[in-house]
Amino acid sequence: MKILLIGAAGTVGSAIETELGQRHDLVRAGRSNVDVQVDIADPASIRDLYRHVGKLDAVICAAGSVVFKPLAEMAPADFELGLRDKLMGQVNLVLLGQEVLNEGGSFTLTTGILSQSPIASGASASLVNGAVDAFVRSAAIELPRGLRINSVSPTVLVEALSTYGSYFRGFKAVPGAEVALAYSRSVEGRQTGQNYQVGY
């Protein structure tokens, strides 16, 4: 398969590349250190990306930014970042990517455990993750030509504990390689409208 991997240079993206790259042709996209640059918060950038890469069998998004900050300190702009980037960025990848996917192709989006298990300073992530999961369930019943859509929802990654560990006290961390298996299941399987939870 020809697979577009957005966020390829990140922790999750690198693990996905290791898992799927041995079997498929990956086009690595993101903000830096990739084959093709894209800013998913900008619909015009997404359109340019799809024009550049051409027909695809699958799109994986392992990118998206949110702000971690106590709710009392959150400003509208802090929420707007997550809404514009991780939420609408992924929604727009689907809206604008339907025509470039071959029949029976798939989208795999990324959410996270905070949609189910909120933490202090994680209101933006909880909001966005829950919205993405709901979008996936809804879009699955309307996508044309046998196209599929799923989301992967991991807990905190072992490789990210140095950065995010203080937010996730008491949570079981999972290695990126285990998370990557859920993306393989989404891309190489046949299910649609699913949220693959990893580590909880």
CA distance 66 to 118: 14
Average pLDDT over residues 165-171: 94
Backbone angles phi, psi at 153, to 5 degrees: -125, 90
Tens of pLDDT, residues 133-157: 999 999 999 999 999 999 999 999 9
What pLDDT sits at residue 115?
96
Tens of pLDDT, residues 99-112: 999 999 999 999 99
Please report the domains of the chain, with CATH numbers, ordered by start residue.
Answer: 2-198 (3.40.50.720)
Average pLDDT over residues 73-95: 98
Average pLDDT over residues 2-16: 97
What pLDDT sits at residue 1?
98
What pLDDT sits at residue 76?
98
pTM over 0.85: yes
- Percent of the chain topping pLDDT 70: 100
Average pLDDT over residues 76-88: 98
Q: Render the burial of 149-172: b for 16+ CB within 10 Å, e for the rest.
A: bbbbbbbbbbbbeeeeeeebeebe
DSSP code per residue over 81-117: HHIIIIIHHHHHHHHHHTTTEEEEEEEEEE--GGGTS
